[in-house]
Amino acid sequence: MFDPLFILLIALVFDWYFGEPEALWSRLPHPIVLFGKAVSFADKKLNKSKDSDQEQYKKGAVAISLLILLALFVSFFIQGIMNFFGPLGIILEIFIVFVLLAQKSLADHVEAVADGLKEDELKGGQNAVGMIVGRDPSSLDKSGVSRAAIESLAENFSDGVVAPAFWYAVFGLPGIIVYKMINTADSMIAYRNEKYLWFGRVAAQIDDLANWLPARLSAVFIALGSGMLNGIAAFKNAMIVALRDSGLHRSPNAGWPEAAMAGGADFALGGPRIYADETVQQAYLNSSGKKDLEAKDIKHSIQVFALACFSLWFFTGVLAVLF
């Protein structure tokens, strides 16, 4: 019974209902925090402003290669421990996969934005959305806050749920741990600024490759969620917009789940946005959709997200039974 797909299904269900066990992480460092420390160490030791662009690029390639090797070593070490403990090892593996998924925590963070807009209007929404996006929340109006929250929900459904689940299903524990290391490195050193433009380039390219298929699968799951909530027309529109508009996004992957969410809910997502280091001119995804978004639209998107997660569960269960 306890093949990787059944373990994944159990972990997905546990993550949805229990989320982050804060009582544990208040006493122990979260695995992602440890990954972040490893990335910071590599950044500090190898990323030197005096180096040429080519030197920074080469050192960045060395850094992400070493981080991946470290993640592989850790995963095989843990796998050996689990094999030694037999059935208890299976419980440990379920726990590790569970804490490396982000269904409930993502929904909770995004719902906090909707609640912030309702309870404290614009300021509350800005404060809450500032916890989950990289752009300057003070530059956002109510619609901008809502749009940012929905975009983050869609993109992180791919990065935080589908991609780790996919790589675990394919390669087991090494797959999910290496993926989370790559994704953590991308979030920390893959900025398009003077410090990281060259040093973080290989990390960004590897992250793009790791997310290529999961991002497109995420669009399908979001379309299924939209269809279950709003009918077959919503499913069709989600797929049409994903196929048509995903390439308008500056990311080769994030545009897929965001465009699917935009099409399924008939929202206009994307558009120009301000980050700490740059202003990005981006076209709207589903430009004919609703642009004046609000808290109720965030709530609607969370419902789509929930049904997309349940679709992932169903698909995982079917594969577990068949294979």
pTM for this one?
A: 0.94
The first and second tokens of residue 137, run together, are: 């929340």
- Report how far residue 41's alpha carbon sits from residue 181's, in angstroms, rounded to the nearest whole number: 13
Burial readout 108-147 (b: 16 or more C-beta within 10 A, e: otherwise): ebbbbbbbbbeeeebebbbbbbbebbebebeebebbbbbb
Phi, then psi, of 146 in degrees rounded to 5: -65, -45
**22, exposed or middle or buried, with CB in 10 Å at 0-12, 13-18, 19+?**
exposed
Question: What pLDDT sits at residue 274?
Answer: 61
Question: What pLDDT sits at residue 248?
Answer: 94
For the chain, list residues with pLDDT below 70: 1-2, 273-280
Question: What pLDDT sits at residue 229?
Answer: 97
Would you tell me how many other CB atoms lie within 10 Å of the CB of residue 236? 15
Question: What pLDDT sits at residue 24?
Answer: 86
The first and second tokens of residue 178, run together, are: 């290496």
Q: Which residues contact 306 (CB under 8 A, 6 or more apart)?
A: 107, 225
- Report how far residue 40's alpha carbon sits from residue 188's, in angstroms, rounded to the nearest whole number: 8
Residue 9, classed as helix, strand or coil, is: helix
- Report how far residue 319's alpha carbon sits from residue 322's, in angstroms, rounded to the nearest whole number: 5
Question: What pLDDT sits at residue 85?
Answer: 87
| Under 8 Å between Cβ of 178 and 75 | yes
Question: What pLDDT sits at residue 277?
Answer: 54
- Report how far residue 215's alpha carbon sits from residue 272's, in angstroms, rounded to the nearest whole number: 22
The amino acid that residue 73 corresponds to is F
Residue 269: strand pairing partners: 285
Residue 33, classed as helix, strand or coil, is: helix
Question: What pLDDT sits at residue 282?
Answer: 81
Looking at residue 197, the DSSP 8-state letter turns out to be: T
Helices (H), 86-171: 87-99, 103-129, 142-157, 163-171
Parallel, antiparallel, or unpaired: how do β-strands 279-280 and 269-270 relate?
unpaired
- Report how far residue 316's alpha carbon sits from residue 8's, in angstroms, rounded to the nearest whole number: 8
The first and second tokens of residue 132, run together, are: 């989950």
- Report how far residue 101's alpha carbon sits from residue 35's, in angstroms, rounded to the nearest whole number: 15
Question: What pLDDT sits at residue 287?
Answer: 95
| Under 8 Å between Cβ of 114 and 298 | yes
